[in-house]
Amino acid sequence: MLTRSALIYLSRQEGLKEFAARFKLFKKLTTRFIAGETGDEAVHAIREINSRGCSASFDHLNESVGSAAETEAEVREYLDVLARIDETGINSNVSIKLTQFGLEIDPELAYRNARQIVADAARRGNFVRIDMEGSNVTQATIDIFKRLRAEFGLNDVGIVLQSYLRRTMSDAQELLKIPARIRLCKGAYDEPPEVAFPDKKDVDNNYVEVMQLLLASGVYHGIATHDPKMIEATIAFVEREKIAKSAFEFQMLYGIRRDLQEQLAREGYGMRVYVPYGKHWYPYFMRRLAERPANIWFVLKNFLKG
Ligand SMILES: Cc1cc2nc3c(=O)[nH]c(=O)nc-3n(C[C@H](O)[C@H](O)[C@H](O)COP(=O)(O)OP(=O)(O)OC[C@H]3O[C@@H](n4cnc5c(N)ncnc54)[C@H](O)[C@@H]3O)c2cc1C
């Protein structure tokens, strides 16, 4: 039985991508979660998402970039994406990962690169979300976000918090003092019990508590989940507290629970779909498999069929 940890381990073995991509059905499944390898394909997917009443966020997949030159290519990609959003008139912002901009090479490099993107987005009236990665970079990510937020506005740059981390409630309280726009998610990495709740029940309880703190703050936040229980808890809370539907948005991943995306949009809630694209789709794709055993069995069954 492939466990979640084993799949997350495999997600870090990029070499396996070449092997796996030879299987037609593996490729077919990747298209369910990845919008394509090029910016054009992502724009095409976003037009379709917009036509269903949802907004989007571009995510150019490339984690843990290894050289300063590679980070420059990532900056160019995002500057190009921000220009395309304006040219095409699609409804989308952008999500970035700081390791993509060199966080593991030199935090100053990541800061300078991210600053270029946030400055360009601010000039265009767009918004940059800084994704949250593994707990080894949580503090460094928050530190860089705070420096950017000190220079740019509330509606220019935001961050992500993960409810599986024990530190998240206190991070949320601190960040709200700035204030900051936060995307709340459960968390997708393999973390030790010292830093993350091992029990799903605790992750979910923390999600609900942090969600309530965020939505009571009056700042526009993103409630990112496909979990019907989390969505019901959010709707019950905003109805009870008379918080307007326009005061926050739900967020989901490309290809997951499309039915629920459309239903919430029809009910008048903001719904943003996160659209991953690019050549380096392998680690992202494997984390999606790790979240749902049914997806793994689908892949294995088709591997065995040949
Ligand atoms: C917009 C967005 C941005 C995110 N950004 C980050 C980030 O910056 N950092 C980070 O660590 N994580 C991020 N995540 C991932 C997140 O942390 C979770 O790993 C992921 O959303 C699964 O958790 P869940 O809340 O959907 O609940 P779960 O309890 O995992 O799932 C609830 C239900 O959702 C459905 N579902 C969930 N995942 C899948 C799947 N892969 N395939 C099919 N059905 C599925 C199933 O019906 C499942 O029963 C993001 C998620 C979203 C939606």
pLDDT above 70: residue 280: yes
- Average pLDDT, integer, range 180-189: 97
Active-site residue, 131 included: yes
SS3 127: coil
Q: pLDDT (tens digit, 9 = 90+) per residue, 53-64?
A: 999 999 999 876
Tell me which residue has its CA closest to atom 17 in ligand 1: 187
Q: How far apart are CA 68 and CA 227, in angstroms?
A: 38
Q: Which of 120, 131, 171, 204 is flagged as catalytic?
A: 131
Residue with tokens 């379709």: 48
Q: pLDDT (tens digit, 9 = 90+) per residue, 237-263?
A: 999 999 999 999 999 999 999 999 999
Q: Which of 129, 149, 183, 287 is flagged as catalytic?
A: 183
Tell me which residue has its CA closest to atom 49 in ligand 1: 227
* Residue 185 phi, psi dihedral angles, 5° rounding: -130, 175
Mean pLDDT of the chain: 92
Look at 38 and 283; give whichever has higher pLDDT: 38
**Tokens, residue 124:** 């265009």
Active-site residue, 156 included: no
pLDDT for the residue 130: 98
Look at 138 and 293; give whichever has higher pLDDT: 138
Q: What is the distance in A from the centroid of ligand 1 to the CA of 151?
A: 31
